[in-house]
Structure 1
Amino acid sequence: MRIALVNSADHAELHPHDLPLAAALRDAGLDPVAEVWTDPSVDWSSYDAVLLRAVWDYHRRYLEFTEWLGQLDKAGVPLLNEAGLVRWNADKRYLLELRERGVAIVPSQVAAGACLREVVGGLDGQEIVIKPTVSATAHNTIRGTAGSTALSDAIEDLPDDVYLVQPFQPEIQSEGEWSLIFFGGEFSHAVLKRPAAGDYRVQHDFGGTAELLDPPAAVLDGSIAAIAAAKSRKAPVYARVDGIVSNGRYLLMELELIEPYLFLPEAPDATTRFATAVADRLRPA
């Protein structure tokens, strides 16, 4: 079976971290081929499945991305994860749906356009984080004290968009943020991410670090509950669940179902588990 490993144009070839994955997919009996999702010359119907990998520009080309998902649907090409799940997960407002389903999340409000200043005004004096509902890698994410001139100026520079407004979680700096990786609904491995000194962003691009660790029971249980609450027809082929422990309680920050970084180099055996989950999903029932 031919499977397209899909990337953005800036990463047309496989990311170095995905080279072992391609080898593991071959060992599992699949034929992986690197493709760019925006390449109009690709015949997607020639593939048995499409696996999202370094699609790191989808949030900047969101409408084009959703149209491409429609092309795959029309061609009858399975997407991993499923296209409906990807559409749902692409907008961070899914967090509010998970909250309604009983998942404990970092407190979040949605604000669009002029309402952003109104929402922020109601949090005067609190340290907050503002992020677009469609975003990745901290794109257009700002942090500051509500009511301060500095934050007001930063808001002025934000594009007209829809945003999540959340209280800043100091535990990210003091304790770190957990990322738990699942393949086919089964727990694979976990890392504890910490930001660089003085920062709050845990991504490697901003100097963050990640350490392979066994998660506490509450973190594992909370992550499993978050995946279950997504209510997909089948368990996601891959998932990364990000969260923190605040006052002894696990709080979900994000449920990542679109090409998240899966910390495969930190857990080499996980690459085989990932490839196996992909192959299992594609086998006839």
Structure 2
Amino acid sequence: MTPENHATRDHSRVALVTCDLFPDLWDDDHPLRDALRGRGLEVDAVRWDDPAADWATYDLAVIRSPWDYVPRRDQFIAWAHSVPRLLNPAGVLEWNTDKRYLSRLAQAGLPVTPTGFVAPGQAWTPPTTGEWVVKPTVSAGSQDTGRYRLPAQRELAEAHVARLTAAGRTAMVQPYLTAVDDLGETALIYLPDATGALTFSHAIRKGPMLTGPDEGTIDPGSEQIDPRTPSAAERRTADRVLGHIPGGAERLLYARVDLIPGPDGEPLLVELELAEPSLFLREGETAGATHRLAEAITSRL
């Protein structure tokens, strides 16, 4: 589309990027869609891999629920780099969709859940005792993730790691943080404020999901979600994490920082979600989350 075409259109066009699993978007994104349309924008839900999509005709494409990219990550990243105006940016997606970024944040001195990595062809010796989580470094929605109690489930844990690495995937192994069973996981959502700076918006509590060995994909939305006021320690930790995003947090449209208390009670980073996180807009309604995000998108047109 030429600049003249953009100039003569009646409305700016925004694509909310999804996948064929949710052709009309994930339910949590409906308030955002409606808020943007209420501002006079033309809004489409578009599959990231739709061969008929003409991304150049959109003034902005916003990543929301492309959750089927996992087995096709290389294709997904190549697609992201081809989209003219994408948020969050393609470089951020490339960095954040492989959880080996956790090792880089740990090296920077951030409080990250201790994580070991097992690459294809690499031998793995399981810990002798304790509860451990095994998952691939590229995943979404807790796909291919399991919890193992050692030594009783040692063989199952070994089989899980072997299955991942035999498929050419890198496995990651973390201690199961038992505080999630009682206190849950805190997800802090950051959105642009009126000045465009990424600031804390709202938080939610996610209940425990992993009960045992990997048995397949956990459906999105199956966890228990409740609004939560984060502690001062959680706010400090999340702010520190955002300060270590390559290229700076100022170029982001959104971020989510997932924390669980460690053995000493201090927050540990479980995941930094910059690619396609649920933003729990309905739970953040009292904080004006949908309005903030819609305003941020509008301002970036």
- TM-score w.r.t. the length of structure 1 is 0.88
Q: Which residue of 2 aligns with 1:142?
A: 146
Give CA-to-partner distance per residue, 1:70-91, whole Å, 9 cap, x none: 321xxxx121111111111010
- Deviation of 1:156 after TM superposition, in Å, equals 4.2
- Deviation of 1:29 after TM superposition, in Å, equals 4.7
Q: Which residue of 1 aligns with 2:35?
A: 24
Give CA-to-partner distance per residue, 1:2-60, whole Å, 9 cap, x none: 11111112222233332221121234453221111111111111111110111111112
SS, match of residue 152 in structure 1: helix
Q: Which residue of 2 aligns with 1:215?
A: 230
- Trace 1:188-227 onto structure 2 (pairs within 5 A): 188-195=201-208, 198=211, 205=220, 207-227=222-242
Report the Cα distance in structure 1 between the residues aligned to 2:243 and 2:92, rounded to whole angstroms: 13
Report the Cα distance in structure 2 between the residues aligned to 1:85 and 1:19, rounded to whole angstroms: 24
- The 8 Å contact of residues 12 and 36 in structure 1, kept in 2 or not, is answered as yes
Give CA-to-partner distance per residue, 1:85-116, whole Å, 9 cap, x none: 1111010011111112221100011211232x
Once superposed, what is the RMSD of the aligned Cα atoms? Answer: 2.2
- The 8 Å contact of residues 177 and 261 in structure 2, kept in 1 or not, is answered as no
1:277 has 2:296 as partner: yes
- The 8 Å contact of residues 22 and 32 in structure 1, kept in 2 or not, is answered as yes
- The 8 Å contact of residues 141 and 219 in structure 2, kept in 1 or not, is answered as no
Report the Cα distance in structure 2 between the residues aligned to 1:32 and 1:207, rounded to whole angstroms: 28
Any stretches of 5+ residues in structure 1 without a counterpart?
Answer: none
1:152 and 1:14, CA in 2 relative to 1: closer, same or farther beyond 3 A? closer
- TM-score w.r.t. the length of structure 2 is 0.84
Equivalent residue for 1:5, pick from 16, 19, 23? 16
Q: Which residue of 2 aligns with 1:152?
A: 158
- Trace 1:85-234 onto structure 2 (pairs within 5 A): 85-115=92-122, 117-118=123-124, 120-121=125-126, 123-147=127-151, 148-158=154-164, 159-184=167-192, 185-195=198-208, 198=211, 205=220, 207-233=222-248, 234=250
Which amino acid letter does the alignment assign opposite residue 166 of structure 1?
A: Q
- Trace 1:27-106 onto structure 2 (pairs within 5 A): 27-72=38-83, 77-106=84-113
Q: Which residue of 1 aligns with 2:276?
A: 259
- The 8 Å contact of residues 8 and 56 in structure 1, kept in 2 or not, is answered as yes
- Deviation of 1:162 after TM superposition, in Å, equals 0.5
Q: Provide the aligned length of Structure 1 versus Structure 2.
A: 274
- The 8 Å contact of residues 113 and 174 in structure 2, kept in 1 or not, is answered as yes
- The 8 Å contact of residues 219 and 245 in structure 1, kept in 2 or not, is answered as no
1:88 and 1:146, CA in 2 relative to 1: closer, same or farther beyond 3 A? same
1:179 and 1:36, CA in 2 relative to 1: closer, same or farther beyond 3 A? same
1:153 and 1:164, CA in 2 relative to 1: closer, same or farther beyond 3 A? closer
